Amino acid sequence: MAQAPSLQLDRFVPYRLSVLTNLVSSAIAAAYVERFGLSISEWRVVAALGEQSGMSAAEVAARTAMDKVAVSRAVASLRRAGRVARATSSHDRRRSALRLSRAGTAVYAKVAPYALAYEAALLASLDLRERDALWKLLDKLTRRAMDLRRHV
């Protein structure tokens, strides 16, 4: 009887990506909560709406690859805090359009530079060629993961 292949976690890409994601997110999550009163999910919603206002919750979920329930909870929390406003879409009365309120725009203006500085510090260990390669590889793996998700 053939022996099943052994899984070496340190050489298993999904595991390594998950570990990296957890390390990066946990490091910055504490600052988001302490300095800005935002959870990671709330920050992702704020960031998505800061980039493109008027998205529905489903569009935010698709844009951020977050679970719809997590987006719904984050939006509800942000609405309670007065950071996100919801209106009926002018194009489709059945669709809600989300946008940052004045308070949401103000928190975005504070958090975005912090997030970019954290990213710069993280990427400082890579030279320009390595950064370009990283972006290409991330894009390629993202496209492939989306293809695989459709066929599972």
| pLDDT tens per residue, range 23-68 | 998 888 888 999 999 999 999 999 999 999 999 999 999 999 899 9
What pLDDT was estimated at residue 88? 78
pLDDT at 89 over 70: no
Task: Report yes or no on whether pTM surpasses 0.75.
Answer: yes
Residues contacting residue 32 through CB under 8 Å, at least 6 positions apart: 38, 39, 40, 42, 43, 111
Q: How does residue 3 score in pLDDT terms, banded at 50, 70 and 90?
A: confident
Confidence of residue 149 (pLDDT cuts 50, 70, 90): confident
Average pLDDT for the chain: 92
Statement: residue 92 has pLDDT above 70 = no
**DSSP β-bridge partners for residue 100:** 84
DSSP state of 121: H
Nearest-angstrom CA–CA distance, 89 and 97: 5
Average pLDDT over residues 3-31: 90
Domains by residue range for the chain, with CATH: 9-126 (1.10.10.10)
What percentage of the chain has pLDDT greater than the value 90? 77
